[in-house]
């Protein structure tokens, strides 16, 4: 821990001494912009050695320099530009002038917007998201395994907290695998530069908001990755971190002002208690520590009440959508952010990209807590967050209870029924992202005790319930481990590295059990991809009876019946009770086996699930 970062606000600002040798004009961000944006205003952040001692001039038709802001740190200027609707694409000089010295010039470009229909198209309940940690999926470019000048050098696959060498090219090399699996959208943990000394392979300690980490590739390659995905009918979700930034980034090491991050007399960590945000009886001190405390000593907590910080973050996120054409945002650590700013952020982003989808990470422990963060003021919060959906961790826990728990009035499978019954709390629960595991928690297979019946049942629920399903890389080939520590659930995808003993990307490299799992997931995922009733159809569930839980997904054209036997032993049931949705159907197709079965009487093995398409 660098002592200068955590003593006092004054000492933190004095970190500017670390940048004593910065160039006279180190950078301008955003480095270019576009004409025809919904918001005509853009604020440039200019960093350079005592740049504030210079006067600023520019002359370009349709562009007005509205204001020049000088702040506490003389190494910064903030320039307010207004770009009129009649401005044309082009390049013009911005001059930084000081008497007796040579003028500094930055050639700023305004570009034409890209209006292709497959850009910023949104990720919806029609999709299946596949979450990838780039460093751990596949190494497609050996030349970027070690990048000169970066604080962490080389790769070491034997150490869980070291870099392993996975990159964008490696992911691009295996898009056919994902397409075949039935995936329609790819979410990468942040691919933005994380130039920390160690253990930043996860991507959540950003040090350069406008730069893809060189160990993954370049900005141009990221754009090419998105374009290749789109050409294959795959969408891309970008992972954003509003709440914190890596301590080695230039805006932290040489902060524009004391209030750029939340300051404490000594290093203070968040208490991580989301309840204080919504608790009407909460201590203001507890609430402040939750929102303003640091996530980690290498993750400075951004002060989102600062208007310069707000502009910096919002413009950066808009920039990435327009530059690369990503289709959606996943918002990291959503409850820790300033709520008013996040609501404004959502409106600003949607004003530019109306179809872009947004979902926030809310690892909380009740449906009401989750709904508190979603749009519509449905739980009397007092204002609209404009957040369409959340990561539905409460649904995940209910599925685990249904698979592992013992049946009771509110336990076992009845917990899942009860959680689904609370969908009234949301403006639209179908916009929630449902999942069984991710990069921060134990692998699904391990949580269900490596029981294949439970595994198949959980996957069936993931593919057939309301919401946007998301799976974690390797779940389909039975990757396992408990998150103790988290590096154990971030292992390499075997076959993604030259010389790997087994290549799990192909059937020949998987063992019999792995192929059984892969084929099961692929069958369900592709069936879902071709069945609107499972995407946008309505849902009807029935109270559990004798351990059997039944729900239907249906639209005007098709009805899918899902039956889960929560008991350990085989159970037989008749179907008269479900007449409202069966509507006289006598037979159904087993989606997995393609066999036609009689609906009059069903036999379901223990902890197993049947997915049946009714035949009218």
The answer, yes or no, to whether residue 151 has pLDDT greater than 90, is yes
Longest Cα–Cα distance of the chain, Å, equals: 93
| Tens digit of each residue's pLDDT (9 = 90 or more) over 171-180 | 999 999 999 9
Mean pLDDT calculated for residue range 66-91: 98
Residues 336 and 462 in one domain: yes
> 19 falls in which pLDDT band (50, 70, 90)?
low
Known catalytic residues are 332, 361
Query: Rounded to the nearest 5°, which phi and psi values hold at 293?
Result: -65, 155
pLDDT of residue 258: 97
Residues of the domain holding 206: 129-398+430-530
Position 413 in a domain: no
318 in the same domain as 225? yes
- Count other C-beta atoms under 10 Å from residue 416's C-beta: 26
Residue 407 maps to a domain: no
| Residue 13 pLDDT exceeds 90 | no
Residue 288 makes CB contacts below 8 A (sequence gap 6+) with: none
- List b or e across 441-471, with b for residues whose CB sees 16 or more CB atoms inside 10 angstroms: bbbbbbbbeebbbbbbbbbbbbbbbbbbbbb
Per the structure, how many domains does the chain have? 3
For the segment 187-203, the average pLDDT, to the nearest whole number, is: 96
Residues 269 and 331 in one domain: yes
Q: Find the CATH number of the domain harbouring 53.
A: 2.60.40.10
Question: How far apart, in Å, are the Cα atoms of 24 and each of 87, 104, 109?
Answer: 30, 8, 20
If one compares 14 and 556, the residue with the highest pLDDT of the two is 556
Question: Is residue 507 domain-resident?
Answer: yes
**Confidence band of 616 (pLDDT split at 50, 70, 90):** confident
Per-residue confidence (pLDDT) for residue 20, from 0 to 100: 56
9, containing H or E segment: helix 9-13
> The CATH number of the domain where 548 resides is what?
2.60.40.1180
Q: What is the pTM of this model?
A: 0.96
What local confidence, expressed as pLDDT, does residue 21 receive? 85
Of the chain, the percentage scoring pLDDT greater than 70 comes to 97
Whether residue 556 is predicted with pLDDT greater than 70 in this model: the reply is: yes
| 554 to 66, 107, 265: CA distances (angstroms) | 55, 57, 58
Residue 220 lies in a domain: yes
Please indicate, yes or no, whether residues 439 and 526 belong to a single structural domain of this protein: yes
- Cβ(304)–Cβ(338) below 8 Å: yes
Q: Chain-centre distance of CA 14, in angstroms?
A: 34
Is the pLDDT at 3 greater than 80? The verdict is no
CATH number at residue 458: 3.20.20.80
Write out pLDDT tens, residues 482-501: 999 999 999 999 999 999 99
Listed residues 507, 530, 553: the one ending a domain: 530
């Amino acid at each position: 821990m660098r002592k200068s970062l955590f003593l006092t606000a004054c000492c933190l600002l004095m970190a500017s001494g670390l940048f004593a040798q910065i160039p006279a004009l180190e950078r301008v961000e955003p480095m270019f912009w576009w004409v025809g944006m919904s918001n005509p205003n853009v604020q440039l952040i200019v960093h350079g050695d005592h740049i504030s001692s210079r006067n600023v001039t520019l002359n370009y038709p349709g562009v007005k320099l509205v204001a020049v802001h000088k702040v506490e740190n003389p190494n910064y200027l903030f320039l307010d530009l207004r770009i009129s609707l009649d401005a044309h694409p082009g390049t013009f000089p911005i001059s930084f002038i000081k008497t007796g010295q040579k003028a500094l010039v930055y050639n700023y470009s305004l570009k034409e917007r890209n209006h292709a229909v497959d850009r910023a198209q949104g990720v919806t309940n029609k999709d299946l998201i596949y979450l990838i940690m780039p460093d751990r999926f596949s190494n497609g470019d050996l030349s970027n395994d070690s990048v000169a000048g970066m604080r962490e050098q080389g790769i070491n696959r034997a150490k869980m907290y070291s870099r392993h060498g996975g990159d964008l090219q490696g992911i691009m090399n295996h898009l056919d695998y994902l397409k075949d699996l039935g995936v329609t959208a790819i979410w990468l943990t942040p691919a933005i530069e994380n130039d920390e000394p160690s253990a930043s392979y996860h991507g959540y300690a950003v040090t350069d908001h406008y730069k893809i980490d060189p160990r993954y590739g370049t900005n141009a390659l990221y754009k090419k990755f998105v374009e290749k995905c789109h050409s294959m009918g795959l969408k891309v979700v970008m992972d954003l971190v509003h709440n914190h930034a890596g301590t080695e980034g230039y805006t932290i090491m040489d902060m524009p002002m004391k209030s750029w991050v939340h300051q404490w007399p000594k290093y203070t960590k968040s208490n991580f208690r989301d309840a204080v945000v919504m608790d009407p009886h909460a201590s203001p001190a507890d609430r402040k520590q939750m929102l303003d405390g640091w996530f980690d000593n290498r993750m400075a907590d951004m002060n989102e009440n600062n208007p310069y910080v707000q502009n910096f973050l919002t413009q950066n996120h808009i920039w990435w959508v327009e530059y690369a054409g990503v289709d959606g945002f996943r918002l990291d650590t959503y409850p820790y952010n300033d709520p008013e700013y996040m609501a404004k952020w959502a409106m600003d982003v949607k004003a530019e990209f109306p179809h872009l989808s947004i979902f926030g990470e809310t690892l909380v422990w009740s449906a009401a807590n989750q709904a508190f963060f979603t749009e519509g003021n449905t739980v009397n919060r007092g204002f609209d967050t404009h957040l369409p959906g959340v990561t539905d961790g409460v649904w995940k826990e209910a599925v685990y209870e249904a698979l592992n728990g013992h049946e009771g009035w509110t336990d076992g499978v009845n917990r899942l029924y009860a959680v689904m019954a609370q969908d009234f709390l949301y403006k639209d629960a179908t916009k929630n992202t449902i999942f069984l595991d991710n990069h921060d928690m134990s692998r699904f297979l391990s949580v269900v005790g490596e029981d294949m019946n439970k595994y198949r049942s959980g996957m069936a629920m993931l593919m057939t319930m309301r919401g946007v399903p998301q799976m974690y890389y390797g779940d389909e080939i039975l990757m396992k481990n408990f998150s103790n520590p988290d590096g154990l659930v971030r292992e390499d995808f075997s076959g993604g590295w030259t010389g790997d003993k087994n290549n799990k990307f192909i059937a020949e490299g998987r063992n019999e059990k792995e192929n059984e799992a892969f084929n099961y997931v692929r069958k369900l995922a592709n069936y879902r991809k071709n069945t609107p009733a499972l995407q946008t159809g309505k849902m009807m569930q029935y109270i559990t009876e004798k351990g059997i839980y039944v729900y239907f997904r249906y639209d005007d054209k098709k009805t899918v019946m899902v039956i889960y036997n929560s008991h350990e032993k085989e159970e037989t049931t008749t179907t008269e009770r479900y007449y409202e949705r069966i509507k006289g159907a006598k037979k159904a197709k087993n989606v997995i086996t393609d066999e036609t079965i009689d609906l009059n009487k069903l036999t379901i093995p223990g902890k197993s699930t049947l997915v049946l398409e009714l035949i009218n």
